[in-house]
Amino acid sequence: MTRGIRVGKERVRKLMQRHGIKASGKRKFVVTTDSKHNLPIASNLLECNFSPEAPNQVWTSDITYIATDEGWLYLTGVIGLFSRQVVGWSMRDNMQTNAVTDAMRMAWFRRRPEPALIFHSDHGSQYCSHEFQSELKRFEMKSSMSRKGNCWERQRTHRESVGSFEGWQTVRQKICDPARGHRRSH
């Protein structure tokens, strides 16, 4: 009623239908961490030290999701905690182990870190998997995982990884470009 014209829901529905306009509803929440598994969980080597002294000492990783017209797209990110830069990433239509493994490999090949780099994540099944842990050992990285129930650390780790970096916002905007109809790029 901003212009003083009263309209009912039915009139709005008919007008929207006539002009091909659809309301976008709220998307369902997607759980990206399956921590109910029997896989081994690494110790927390990070211990809330989010400020390493040099590049390529600590990387953190997380998975986020993006709604598209074709379904969910899962984005795994690896961030160097010293530079706060994206060092590796992977996009998939699923959350299987190869997504986190590919992101970690990309980071390693781009940065070639010294042995003993700490790779910090949550204790989701992708990060705890034998396949991923074997790859960390092969690249001489140390696995570190957030403690269960430590909300402050979990929030900080997510924020330091894929949660708030401008680079991820740019990726999200390109994937979800309204002119392209929120489609996945294949």
Q: Which domains does the chain have, with CATH numbers?
A: 58-180 (3.30.420.10)
Band (pLDDT 50/70/90 cuts) for residue 157 is low
Largest separation between any pair of C-alpha atoms in the chain: 69
Percent of the chain's residues with pLDDT above 90? 33
Band (pLDDT 50/70/90 cuts) for residue 99 is very high
Full 3-state SS string of 34-86:
CCCCCCCCCCCCCCCCCCCCCCCCEEEEEEEEEEECCEEEEEEEEEECCCCEE
Which of 108, 97, 106, 103 lies closest to 75, judged by CA? 103
Band (pLDDT 50/70/90 cuts) for residue 7 is confident
| The predicted structure's pLDDT at residue 2 | 59
Q: What's the full length of the chain, in residues? A: 186
| The predicted structure's pLDDT at residue 111 | 96
- pLDDT for 151 beyond 80: no
Band (pLDDT 50/70/90 cuts) for residue 38 is confident
